[in-house]
A and B are shown apart, each in its own frame.
Chain A
Amino acid sequence: MKRTFSIGGVHPHDSKISRDCAIETLPTPGTVYISVAQHIGAPAVPVVAPGDKVKTGQVVAEPGGFVSAFIHSSVSGTVKSVAPRADLAGKMSMTIEIQVEGDEWAEGIDRSETLVTDIPDDPKAIIEKIRLGGIVGLGGATFPTHVKLSPPPGSVCERLIINGCECEPYLTSDFRVLLEKGEQVVVGAAILRKALGGVPCTIAIEENKPEAIKHIGEVIARLNFSGIEVMSLKKRYPQGGEKQLIDAVMHRQVGSGALPISVGAVVQNVGTALAVYDAVQKGKPLIDNVITVTGNSAPRQANFLVRVGTPLSFILEKAGGLPEGDLKVISGGPMMGRAVANLESATLKGTSSLLLLRPEETLRGQEGSCIRCGKCTDACPMGLEPYLLNRLVKAGDLEGLEANAIQDCIECGCCLYSCPANIPLLDRIRLAKADVLGVIRARAAAAKAAASK
């Protein structure tokens, strides 16, 4: 009996139509636009000025706080400007514009293909290298990896889970990485294991990727690494969610508002493991990632290795150009991805895919009345009651929302997906989540002020 998480979830068709497309290295564009807000937490602070010459892999922005990350130039060339630029949603964010000249790499980066399997002994040194490599979680949340690898005092890590579920339909970048860079991923997992004090490691892959499961199993046997196992999971969305994956692999439930480390788990994505390998073994910071270009109306399916900061229009052009007619471009998967309003925006470290959908594939139906069928409650993997939250949002009852654990929502979209009345449940919950967070923060600030008096 294969494992999966215990409550909720939906079964969208996996539509992995780009699964057989090998990773192609995309040429560098003429200009890259590197945002300084590519991760959760404080934006990085630019350390270059217009006119500066930079090399590939050179630091261009330093962390702006503890939860923040280094950002490196993904190309060599001249810095043209450091100014706000519209991101994929059209909102302004500070961006470093670099005009590409040649491809000269910074010193200390090993660009050879040889696999380095000797792992450094000192966990602290490993974490420092990961920090300097600007590595963030590539599963979507882009949380700085070095922070995740430094558990707060008093908490003990018991298992490292490498997340190879890729439960979002269409996406195949993690799958291709597992197939083509399996060795590096396994060594990366071994490094992460070491950084956490030698805990056992599980590489979790959904059963719809049997080639990857077989390949990783062979790689582990060939490299003769102990403490790393591969686990096949039932296919179910959102299994790639941190809390759902822990439930599936370890049968432990992370409590409301708690972190995964509270049940002894640390989850890292396959892409992150590869980036960790590059940073620790090869000295190569996070300057490129694999991006899937897919969709039924895409001119061709592809998995590209793309430098961070490449304009989306350049990638689409290399994939055969945009087809005629109306089209929706989504950055990320169809369930949690964001619609792209500005094709001139550039990729970020966490960009996983460009999904092209026709209007008829994306249009929502007319919103009807809630018929209390309870499908959303059955689908919610966090055990929430979306129909109830929707009612409370409409009534503006922030206290009621907080009492009903709205902050536990992971915004996976299962409620919206399952609702037969087309109620925009997630849209409303997401807004109210921000409001409730504001209330919680204001209360904490007030309590702090009272305590200091």
Chain B
Amino acid sequence: MTQLVIWTIVILTVLGMLLAAILFAVAKKFKVEEDPRIDDVEKAMPGANCGGCGFAGCRAFAEAAVKADDLDSVYCPVGGGETMKKVAAILGRQVKEKAPMVAVVRCNGSCDVRPTVNVYCGSLSCRVKATLYSGDTGCSWGCVGCGDCVGACQFGALKMNPETGLPEVDESKCTACGACVKACPKAVIELRAKGPRGMREVVCCINRDRGPQVKKACANACIGCGICFKTCTHEAIVFENNVAYIDYSKCKLCRECEAVCPTGAIHGVGFPKPLDVEAVKARIAERKKKAAEAAAADKKEEEK
């Protein structure tokens, strides 16, 4: 009995030492040199592995960041400026400031303003619904309301509002990874700059149909009247395909477009005070009056 125990211990010890020697030799011979900074960068990442940066995960991002010559080509939308600064510090490089972005739902055709013309009873998926037909309302452009974006969001930033039938973005949770943008078959969701102190103007409609048709389909839609385009003094409004679009890089947040929009399709978000429509309209009228007077004066001078 004692002998058996002794032999077992001896054999296992010898075997263990032998294998350890082999492992040691192999590890020495086939050692993979890896930049230690990759590990450091990965630790600095948020670790969500969401793929919002365009790489397969945080590790892949770290590898790309270490390999890249400058940090312009890589950006972690989830971590944002903070994370990029940390990464830049590890790699000893400079990083440009990028405006923080947020997902914006560009449809405000809630159930009460967008009459239902048929009832959908198929598979509950926006993509399936969008391929089958134009949707259960007269608007063939807006949100179809099955919540593919909610399913795509890994951060719990989106949820469907059962009253409006539209998704709502929780800005404190949204990391602008872009998953919802990809999931939406109608391209209703867009990533936009959050704006100074979270203030921004958005046209919440992408319906390209002509005015009368749009009006019939949805009371909150952009009818393509072009009043906002004519009012804007900052050239921030692009007016194409019967629908207005606000270029957030040019918008000065004067809220004039919001005040003149006849259907309320333009939404001001994050402003501390509610919009005083009359005051803004008076300001526009004043400006127009002055411009007319100046034009008349110019004309008189020319005549002289």
Partner-B contacts on A (CB < 8 A): 86, 89-92, 326, 328, 338-339, 341, 359, 362-364, 367, 424, 427-428, 430-431, 434
Contact = CB atoms under 8 A, between A and B. Distances in A.
Contacts of A430: 128, 131
A367 B122 CA distance: 11
A359 B136 CA distance: 16
A363 B128 CA distance: 16
A236 to B, nearest CB: 26
B37 interface: no
Interface string B120-143: 011101011001111110001000
B282 interface: no
Nearest to A416: B123
Interface of B: 117-119, 121-123, 125, 127-128, 131-136, 140
Contacts of B133: 89-91, 339, 341
Contact of A363 (B117, B121, B125, B140): B121
A359 B119 CA distance: 10
B11 to A, nearest CB: 47
A89 B128 contact: no
A341 B117 CA distance: 8
A362 B132 CA distance: 16
User: Would you call the interface of chain B mostly helix, strand, loop, or mixed?
Assistant: loop
A313 to B, nearest CB: 14
A328 B132 CA distance: 15
Contacts of A434: 131
Contact of B132 (A89, A92, A364, A428): A89
A339 B123 CA distance: 13
Nearest to B139: A90
Given A339-B133, A364-B121, A364-B123, 12 more contacts: A86-B134, A86-B140, A89-B132, A89-B133, A91-B133, A326-B119, A328-B121, A341-B118, A362-B121, A427-B122, A428-B128, A430-B131
A430 to B, nearest CB: 7
Contacts of B131: 430-431, 434
A431 B132 contact: no
Contacts of B128: 424, 427-428, 430-431
Nearest to B132: A89
B121 A338 contact: no
Contacts of B123: 364, 367, 424, 427-428
A81 to B, nearest CB: 14
B250 to A, nearest CB: 32
11 contacts: A90-B134, A91-B133, A91-B140, A359-B121, A362-B121, A364-B121, A364-B123, A424-B128, A427-B123, A427-B128, A428-B123
Nearest to A425: B123
Nearest to A88: B133
A316 to B, nearest CB: 15
Nearest to A329: B118
A137 B188 CA distance: 38
A88 B12 CA distance: 78
Contacts of B135: 90
A362 B121 CA distance: 8
A412 B118 CA distance: 25
B127 A431 contact: yes
A328 to B, nearest CB: 7
Nearest to B123: A424
B122 A424 contact: yes
B165 to A, nearest CB: 17
Contacts of B121: 328, 359, 362-364
Contacts of B136: 341
Contacts of A339: 122, 132-133
Contacts of B132: 89, 338-339
